[in-house]
Chain A
Amino acid sequence: MSPDLSAALTGLLGTDSVVNCGMIVPNNLHLPLATLLRDRGYTCYVTVCASHWPAQPALKGAPATEEHFEVATVLRDPTRRDAAHPDGSQTFSWRVSLAPGEAIASLTSLFAGADWQEREQYDLVGVHFAGHPDLRRLMMDEDWPGHPLRRDYAIDTPHAPWR
């Protein structure tokens, strides 16, 4: 990460510890952060990964956690990174934590490639992307009950045979 970009991210997020991969960003800063990164060269949309975290009781000193979802986004700067041109990682990723039922802003207005990836995460994990033009299921049937990639969806959940 160049010092220039690092300063811009610090200004936007209001924190000194800007870490690539794994940094948690408030939901309202998700779209501004993606816009800033796209304008600074991260023009290639890579992936979005939603995950479900069920409620956990307090265990071995770790505090109890509420049920929540996490959405990780990865963008890529398609300029060269190797030993001769070192500028950190080519990819930049961050996470957004969501309460159940809370929606995250869709990145389809910035990257057309987000369309199907976000549909897939909506289908399999059940995270809503606000502002998506066509939020339908991608993999499962339109009348499929539940979202299979939630942790509380048993792998042997019975379902009606396909017609």
Chain B
Amino acid sequence: MTFSCLQPPPLPDPHIDLDAYEAGADLMVLNLGPQHPSTHGVFRIKLVLDGEIIVKAVSYPGYLHRGVEKLFEKLTYAQVTPIVDKNDYLSPMINEQAINMVFEAGLGIEVPRRARWMRTIIAELQRIASHLVAIGTFVLDVGGAIGGGASVFMYTFRERELILDIFEELTGARFHYNTHQVGGQRHDVPLGWDVKIRAAMDSIEKSMDLYDTLTSKNGIFRGRSLGVGVLGRDLALQLGLNGPVGRASGIDLDLRRDAPYHLYGELDVQVPVLTEGDCLARFRMRALEVRESIRLIRILLEDVPEGPIAALKPSKGPTAVKLKDGQWYVGVESPRGELGHYLIASAGANKGMSPYRLKIRPPSLHLVSLVPWLLPGNSLSDAIAILGSLDPVMGEVDR
């Protein structure tokens, strides 16, 4: 399947002065959100419309702000992990890994090989689960497939359930796992886990072909996504977008390959890159990444390392980890882009048991900061498709 390379339209200025806009134009202000289902969470955009075309978009996040960075000041290092599960609630495992990796960098701990193997496989399973939601909700947003897109949505949730079952068997929880700890894992692999994962991968791979048939051959779906919301490479790089959205616009950056962590350095991660930068490219990029993750998981399952799953002894309480003065930044590849944590530790903060300041670098914040740049010039109906194709998680934007 080939697509013509579309030229992106000239970018409008997001800080446009409306008084200077075409005197006498009949402009209308429309509030999109905060409770609009297409914004994937609570997010408000004030749109200024000229007819049906968006002239200016002003976004107001913050409706889901819970102040987790303030909470980190009082919580001990071990108590932070279950809190970050709730930030990006579609990929909690990767959030746990990211935050524990920055603590491990501060402590200078080497994580055992078996724990790193588990983290790699968990991260790839979580990436598939998160992308399945993104694919399903995007098709639901633009419609087109059988039943207005609802059938693809249901199918993807059916396959995602397989992965949640795998995680439930490992941790006992379906959503907020708390299975990572500083230095390793809390729960070891259950018996027969690999058989279950292999069966799930086969099933998901088969379903990916089905979604492809339902979407890429559907005229309505293609008409609503092909050439819509074209994001150029320069703007994507400027805005710090480096996840699937960035790669759909031609940024060849994937931290799993370019700054390897876990066991990714030993795997040959193939990073798909598309150059169209439209909604369809972003949709296709996630499908390609699911297939790549399936391939990586199959390679990982061939060689299961033995050994301990944690570098430290099981902690007897929440105060076991203490850090001295220092600053560290660790970024990992989450399903939405670079998820990073900037940690400032001080021996004076709660006797060294709590972070002095822990700043989260959420990829979704950069995704929604794209809105004022990308929406102007598009019609209102295309705005829904563009927001859906970005796949932001508001719990992570607002924190």
Interface residues of B in 293-329 (CB under 8 A from A): 326-329
Asked whether A155 and B265 contact (CB < 8 A) given A21-B328, A138-B62, the answer is no
A95, A112, A124, A138: which contacts B238 (Cβ < 8 A)? A112
B361 and A46: CB pair below 8 A? yes
Chain A min CB distance to B20 (Å): 16
Contact with A along B238-279 (1 / 0, CB 8 A): 111110000000011101011110000100000000000000
Chain A min CB distance to B237 (Å): 6
A44 and B260: CB pair below 8 A? no
Neighbouring A residues of B241 by C-beta, 8 Å: 113
A43, A49, A82, A140: which contacts B237 (Cβ < 8 A)? A43
Stretch touching chain A among B64-72, B174-182, B207-215 = B64-72
Instruction: Name the residue in B65, B251, B265, B398 with the highest tally of chain A Cβ atoms < 10 Å from its Cβ.
Output: B65
Query: B157 interface residue, CB < 8 Å from A?
Result: no
Neighbouring A residues of B82 by C-beta, 8 Å: none
B61, B67, B265, B340: which contacts A148 (Cβ < 8 A)? B67
Which A-chain residue is minimally distant from B365 (CB atoms)?
A116
B369 and A51: CB pair below 8 A? no
Secondary structure at the A interface, as helix, strand, loop or mixed, is loop
Query: B164 interface residue, CB < 8 Å from A?
Result: no
Which A-chain residue is minimally distant from B328 (CB atoms)?
A21
Query: A40 interface residue, CB < 8 Å from B?
Result: no
B238, B265, B344, B359: which contacts A113 (Cβ < 8 A)? B238
B331 and A91: CB pair below 8 A? yes
Query: A35 interface residue, CB < 8 Å from B?
Result: no
Chain B min CB distance to A18 (Å): 16
Chain B min CB distance to A24 (Å): 11
Which A-chain residue is minimally distant from B359 (CB atoms)?
A49
Contact with B along A123-141 (1 / 0, CB 8 A): 0100000000110011110
A21 and B15: CB pair below 8 A? no
Instruction: Name the residue in B259, B265, B331, B399 with the highest tally of chain A Cβ atoms < 10 Å from its Cβ.
Output: B259
Interface residues of A in 89-145 (CB under 8 A from B): 89-91, 93, 95, 111-113, 115-117, 120, 124, 133-134, 137-140
Asked whether A72 and B73 contact (CB < 8 A) given A46-B240, A80-B257, the answer is no
Secondary structure at the B interface, as helix, strand, loop or mixed, is mixed
B258 and A80: CB pair below 8 A? yes
B239, B327, B340: which contacts A21 (Cβ < 8 A)? B327
Neighbouring B residues of A72 by C-beta, 8 Å: 327, 342, 344
A44 and B265: CB pair below 8 A? no
* Complex Cα gap A44–B247 (Å): 13
* Complex Cα gap A120–B340 (Å): 16
A47, A82, A140: which contacts B257 (Cβ < 8 A)? A82
| Partner-B contacts on A (CB < 8 A) | 21-22, 43-47, 49, 51, 56, 70, 72, 74, 76, 78-83, 89-91, 93, 95, 111-113, 115-117, 120, 124, 133-134, 137-140, 148-149, 151, 153, 155
21 pairs from A and B in contact (CB 8 Å cutoff): A44-B242, A44-B253, A45-B238, A47-B342, A49-B344, A49-B359, A72-B342, A72-B344, A74-B361, A78-B237, A78-B242, A80-B257, A90-B258, A112-B239, A112-B373, A113-B369, A139-B61, A139-B398, A140-B65, A148-B70, A155-B71
Other than A46-B240, A70-B344, A74-B329, give 16 A-B pairs with Cβ distance below 8 A: A21-B327, A22-B326, A44-B240, A46-B338, A47-B361, A78-B242, A78-B252, A80-B257, A82-B259, A90-B258, A91-B329, A111-B239, A116-B369, A117-B361, A138-B62, A155-B70
